[in-house]
Structure 1
Amino acid sequence: MTDYFRPLVQIGPARPETAVPLAGGWGWFTHVEVLSRNAPAQVIPAGDMPTDKAARLTAPRAPIAGMSLDRPRIMGILNTTPDSFSDGGQHADVADAVTAGLAMAQSGADIIDIGGESTRPGASFVPIETEIKRTAPAISALRAAGLTLPISIDTRKAAVAEAAVGAGANLVNDVSGFTFDPGLAPFCQKHQLPVCVMHTQGDPATMHLNPSYSNVVLDVYDTLEDQISKLETGGIARNAILADPGIGFGKNLEHNLALLARISIFHMLGTALLLGVSRKKFIGTLGNAPDAKDRAPGSIGVALAGLAQGVQLVRVHDVAETRQAIALWCAASSESIL
């Protein structure tokens, strides 16, 4: 029987002597929830955890693409696609992409994530050449315009990543969790690139059609652990990996909420965590916002809930609003966070 240990994360100025730090960040915990596929959940003191599990939860996370992870970080979304669900067509022109990217940097983004293939539910496959034409010129132009922030390339394809890195990208963010193109992980290993491994069930074209899990939290955890272990075996260090549970990717409303409620379990992977919920359908459903552009308040609310469980990075469309919310959340929670 395999047990999973989820830290019950707390923050704030009053910290018990029995508290242990979470991943070198702003959170700490005194107890963990023990989850299993064969037994009811139970809560035990953190000191009763197996030593190897405790080490994964408490070890400080190494910087990723030059970003320290001891405070909340913001990844700004810059889609150069004509058909993304929220901002399709807005940044397809290189000049528009540059303007948007620089504005995100000015507003407080820590990294810019550039994608040229929509991965919304029902999206069609984009040919490699098309995806390169949408992304590499935008990255080159942003670097030429003086952007010094890290840039991640949101792609499933090795050739697209190669062109993007040649243009100035620093990190590869693969929504398939490095299961789509067998050449992508070796490319990242060869060039010592940090990576983001996301969980998805199915392909973007079909992933929204009746997703099913025996236990969504543990199933997603096991899949991520398996993929991260494979990358580690292939020469990519675990401390160069971000893990993303893939909210909305092959998950229905109930799946998404179950993952968010227990997202701190993914700290047991021993990697930094990225949460991407910005403007997604479930926020519109629960927040009565049919138009994706009206979902910033709900997106920020979920992002802050993730930060409260120790998530290190949030991927967002609304950078300025999210930065303001995080600054106030940190100030109201503990002066030691920022």
Structure 2
Amino acid sequence: MKYSLSDQGEKMEVERVQAIASKTLDTIPSEFIRSEAEQPAITTVHGSVLEVPTIDLGGGDEDELVRLISKASNEWGLFQVVNHGIPNEAIGNLQRVGKEFFELPQQEKEVYAKPQGHDGEEGYGTKLQREIEGKKAWVDHLFHNIWPPSAINYKFWPTNPPSYREANEEYAKYLRGVAEKLLKYLSRGLGLVEDAIKEGGGGEEIGYLLKINYYPPCPRPDLALGVPAHTDMSLLTILVPNDVPGLQVCRDGRWYDVKYIPNALIIHIGDQIEIMSNGKYKAVLHRTTVNKDRTRMSWPVFIEPPHDHAVGPIAELIDEENPAKYRTKKYGDYKYCKLNKLPQ
């Protein structure tokens, strides 16, 4: 089913992936078929599940936590945390209301569609960034800011299901505590004062952007990708998945499935922390596969600098022996270049 969205008289035909998937085809449109260099069936290391570092945040020695998080961020750019302090009920409610939104009739979801010509990510949509060779990702999504209050625009928050706002605000409250703790530990891991990364990334103006990814069943999961290979633009990404596997990480040029751990949070180091750490911490190259029979969903929160905030290597990490490896750049400019596949 196609919906005509208008902005200042312009009309654009959009077909959602969820609608394509509902046609119960035994094949997929050609624009979803990846090149052989990307196809999961060819490029995945089969029979091997990657056990990325899993870190228990619920106690123990803080210095040891700093060491473990720093090591994982340097060697992997990715780790999972357990005993993180977010109640299972809060995570369950976040997942429930997100799933209920995507199960609404299409015309109800389209109320929250991204306005055409709108620069920001917020809203319901299918396409996120410039597509290479016209290839499309097998995913629909919903974006909206959840913190700080000054960045929240409730017109992008669904009113159905009725508990959507409550569930998201509750999750955001707990999530901020986890994020603050991780940023402190990451700073200490660089030998810096504990608020160095937070202040370098925008201080109290740092934004929390929620994305709900909805990957419907795909008749040819061997040929398609939910999201192609990328690193996150953010400082840090904190992600909750559902129980359908799909996250893959690139190690030594090969793609591996990441082990699912119930109630764990998946932490991605983003480009901005790689830049601030002058390369000591590495943004993780990852992608998402899809499933033939089951819907995969995930709830990443991108922890980002403000649009006009300039991010560069932290001064204390730079000297004659360790020159800056990255340019200092306003985050909004960085984001624009990355989404449009322009040189940084």
TM-score (structure 2 length as normaliser): 0.26
Q: Report 1 or 2 for greater relative contact order, CA contacts < 8 Å, sequence distance ≥ 6.
A: 2
Q: Which has the higher helix share?
A: 1
TM-score (structure 1 length as normaliser): 0.26
Q: Which has the higher strand share?
A: 2
